[in-house]
Structure 1
Amino acid sequence: MIRRIDPYSLRLFVAVVAEGSISRAAAREHIAASALSRRIAELESALGVKLLVRSPKGIELTLAGALVQERGCRIDKDLQALARDVQGLDGQVNGMVRLCANMSSLIGFLPERLHAFGTAYPAVQIAISERDTREVIRACLDDEADVGVCVKMDAPPGLESWPFAEDPLIVVMLNAHPLGGMKKLRFADAMQYPLIWVHSGGALDSLLRGQAARLSSDYTPQVVVSSFDIACRMIEAGLGIAIMPQSAATAYAGARKFSRRPLAEAWAARELRIYALRKSPRHRAVQELIEALKK
């Protein structure tokens, strides 16, 4: 007869596979690496098979481990969903809502709306993760996020969406820059000067590279950085100019030394939207958060 399988140990095993490392999984799940290793050993003992092979290069799944990882993901999602649904049965708005959002929405719009929501619904916990727009959509589709906020995309039929905010792209530069005297700039004007790119591989990066390719197939940005605040420091140091969402420019380039000019192109009029997996009925805490975030 098979021994009892602990759902928490199963969750930890799934985390180890996802992270490819016991230490990284332990950090992610806020547990000591030694305790996590013990949990995995107990799970292997309960199943009577080895699930992982440890080596200096990391971990490898056995055939049994691959099967447990696949089924374990589904079981963990079902258990989390069960907990959220049960928490909503007493008529109160409580429980956990998983919110996944892109960088610009987290910088410019979400903090204040989340604070207001938390004041109205103090019993609701919100687990926030930052991801690129495409990853936000994927997380909603895979039911890894209850609510997603990101740049408007052609979303699959399985998702519902609602307006969140307008966040147009603008050009940020120092006041003394030659383009500073213009009221509106074309992308071609900005490309005549060293450009600072943000978040290589992200939605904004892909958009700008696509537009740059239409104008100059061999264009290469001057500097590539990981965040908008770093981009503003590069601008401040005189290394170039940057195209970024208005929300980010307001947060990081509000000092008088910076000039901010709108882009003339229609594609610069970015819209942020709320996304959620189509469900009926939807957990009340999730629905209330969606209502609170709508524009």
Structure 2
Amino acid sequence: MNLDLTDLKLFIKIAESPSLTQGAKRACLSPGAASMRIKSMENELGEGLFHRQHKGLVLTLAGQRLLIHARKILRQLEVLKAEFDHRDEADGASMRMYVAGFSAFESTQRRLVRYLADHANVAIDLQQRTAGDIVRGIREGAVDMGVVVGSDPVEGCASITLPVLNYVAVLPRHHALVASASLRLGDVLRHPQVGLATDSTLCRLIEQQADIDGIVAQFRIKVSGAESLCRMIAEGVGIGIASDAAVQPYLDVCGLVARRLDETWARQQHMMLVRHFERMPRHVTDLVSYLSAA
């Protein structure tokens, strides 16, 4: 079999792209050259790798099998390189990381700022995905690491506990609830709300707890990010609930305060998933250690 690493890298890029044209662009090839290489791979393997449809390419069963093996081969090559390469990121390093949930995603982004500033040659492909996508990606070798809610073991993945994510009430400095010794969800939901449309995990938690308490939330508006939420609250539109990490950068500038909720559900345990701790490249190990530090 005469497949080489260039073939495998091209195949992965096309398989992960909406079209051959975009995959070829990511591989710095013309669509024609990429198409010829894919056809050559199919001839070599004796099976088609893609169904060519009007809307683009779809992997065949053979293509799905090759994708799993190709990712494993390239991942193992990275481990081998890290094992024998003692230079300090001389050639740079790239990682792919998936995070489940908007609050965890924003928290992770904030924590990566300092890491990336201190590691100038590291590149991270950070994406918000579902927990199912993350587990599947880890098992198939498509993702270096992923962050999910929970602490229970996940089959086919190794895990490490991350710092707890705290949900807080975001309030104007002179709001009546600021002086409350203990703040519960019911206290917050009795006031007009500014919500986070992008945080489905938080929305679900609030809805479930509100149903238990027999409370109906009055959302005046739902916005797409923590900064918009804070600015709406600063203008007197309402108050809101968000993760502490997401709103911290905007509290002082908007004249707001964050108060922790005295609720069990408001403290969410997260964990980092990887395939194998003992076989991770050094740069992945370094990042996992950094993010798992309290």
Shorter-chain TM-score: which interval? Answer: 0.7 to 0.9
Q: CA deviation at 1:211?
A: 1.9
What does the per-residue CA deviation read over 1:204-235, in whole Å, with 9 as the maximum and x for residues that have no partner? 23322322232348657433333212222332
State the SS of the aligned residue for 2:60: helix
TM-score (norm 1): 0.76
Aligned counterpart, 1:143: 141
Check if 1:84 corresponds to 2:84. no
RMSD: 3.4
Check if 1:182 corresponds to 2:176. no
Count of aligned pairs between the two proteins: 280
State the SS of the aligned residue for 1:165: coil
> What letter corresponds to residue 80 of structure 1 in structure 2?
L
Q: Is the 8 A contact 1:109 1:247 kept in 2?
A: no
Cα distance in 1 for residues equivalent to 2:227 and 2:201: 17
Which of 128, 132, 136 is residue 131 of structure 1 equivalent to?
128
Cα distance in 1 for residues equivalent to 2:61 and 2:153: 31
Aligned counterpart, 2:236: 238
Identity, % of aligned positions: 19
Q: CA deviation at 1:96?
A: 4.0
> What letter corresponds to residue 98 of structure 2 in structure 1?
C
State the SS of the aligned residue for 2:249: helix
Q: CA deviation at 1:156?
A: 0.8
Cα distance in 2 for residues equivalent to 1:187 and 1:129: 32
Check if 1:103 corresponds to 2:105. yes
Cα distance in 2 for residues equivalent to 1:133 and 1:251: 26
Q: Unmatched 5+ residue regions in structure 2?
A: none
User: Which has the larger displacement, 171-180 or 184-193?
Assistant: 171-180
Q: Is the 8 A contact 1:232 1:253 kept in 2?
A: yes
Aligned counterpart, 2:52: 53
TM-score (norm 2): 0.76
Q: CA deviation at 1:136?
A: 4.1
Q: Is the 8 A contact 1:133 1:203 kept in 2?
A: no
Cα distance in 2 for residues equivalent to 1:155 and 1:148: 14
> What letter corresponds to residue 52 of structure 2 in structure 1?
V
Q: Unmatched 5+ residue regions in structure 1?
A: none
> What letter corresponds to residue 128 of structure 1 in structure 2?
D
- CA distance 1:285–1:161, shift in 2 (3 Å): same
- CA distance 1:31–1:252, shift in 2 (3 Å): farther
Aligned counterpart, 1:39: 34
Cα distance in 2 for residues equivalent to 1:263 and 1:41: 59
